[in-house]
Structure 1
Amino acid sequence: MSIDVRPVADGDFFAWLDLYEKYAEFYETPLTDQKALLLWSWLTAPDHEEDGLVAIEGERLVGLAHFREFARPLEGDRGLFLDDLYVADENRGKGVGHALIEAVRQRAVERGLGVVQWITAHDNRTAQNVYDSVASRTSWVTYEIDLPKAGV
């Protein structure tokens, strides 16, 4: 069966949520109803920076990708950052991840952007095998500073 990739739509919420909950569980990150609803509101708002795609096999959602534009000052252009990529366990190895990445890449090309970037966990070897087949691994190291939440 072929994989179709399209933007998220209002009727996708519950199937999308099932996939996103599994994504959060994989990364051992608590996903509250409030966080899920906030992200969904971003994905379905035409003027929000966060955008989303879903991969469909038959009539079933089997993967998701969330991405956004970002500025690249030294390059004098913009890029797309792939925030989240997830494929249902039973659909791995069937080209779903490749199809989602290609759809994100195509959007970047259509917008005239200079790059598509993303990160993954250092021990996520399965994902890295896919990523190594479609992109170049960089030498950059990622750092974070956790900040207190507003109102906490």
Structure 2
Amino acid sequence: MSIEVRPVADGDFFAWLGLYEEYAAFYETTLTDQKALLLWSWLTAPDHEEDGLVAVDGDRLVGLAHIREFARPLEGDRGLFLDDLYVIEDARGKGIGRRLVDTVRARADERGLGVVQWITAHDNQTAQQLYDSLANRTSWVTYEIDLPRSES
């Protein structure tokens, strides 16, 4: 298995969509066509903050990572946030997740950023085993407020 990690490209849409649908299903989230197309437009827009990477084995997409820069006011710098990381089930355990995170880290380093951060579900033990080998688990607790949105 020879894995290449590269930015998403226009011709990746349908293969990327299949991966992202599996990712959404894993987290028991409904992925509508509208949401998928919106994210894809972000990933392929040169001026949007969200970037996408894919792991490719030959001509088959086997993983994805979505990333974006963010400001860190107390540190006086910027960081890179890993929004989504997914590897297809039959390719897990082969170092692809590690390779994606390593690529994200290298991008942050190239940009002179101060940190790479991400979150995962508290019960995603398999991912946490990998993450514990790559990064420091923080003591921060995440909160969120869901706001009503109008459907446009």
TM range (shorter): over 0.9
Moved more, 142-151 or 11-20: 142-151
User: Residue deviations 1:17-61, cap 9 Å, x none?
Assistant: 000000000000100000000000000000000000000111100
In 1, Cα distance between equivalents of 2:111 and 2:144? 29
Provide the residue aligned with 2:12 in structure 1: 12
1:3 Cα deviation after fit: 1.0
TM score, norm. by length of structure 2: 0.98
In 1, Cα distance between equivalents of 2:109 and 2:150? 36
- What are the residue-to-residue correspondences of 1:2-151 with 2, within 5 Å? 2-151=2-151
In 2, Cα distance between equivalents of 1:151 and 1:9? 29
1:76 Cα deviation after fit: 0.2
In 2, Cα distance between equivalents of 1:141 and 1:133? 20
Any unmatched runs of 5+ in structure 1? Answer: none
1:126 Cα deviation after fit: 0.4
Give the secondary structure class of the aligned counterpart of 1:137: coil
1:117 Cα deviation after fit: 0.1
Please tell me the residue identity of whatever aligns with 1:131. Y
Between the two proteins, the alignment pairs up a number of residues equal to: 152
Please tell me the residue identity of whatever aligns with 2:103. A
User: Residue deviations 1:50-105, cap 9 Å, x none?
Assistant: 00000011110000000100000000000000000000000000000001001110
Q: Percent identity?
A: 80
Give the secondary structure class of the aligned counterpart of 1:107: helix
Please tell me the residue identity of whatever aligns with 2:13. F
Give structure 1 regions of 4+ aligned residues with deviation exceeding 3 angstroms. Answer: none
TM score, norm. by length of structure 1: 0.98
Please tell me the residue identity of whatever aligns with 1:132. D
Give the secondary structure class of the aligned counterpart of 1:4: strand
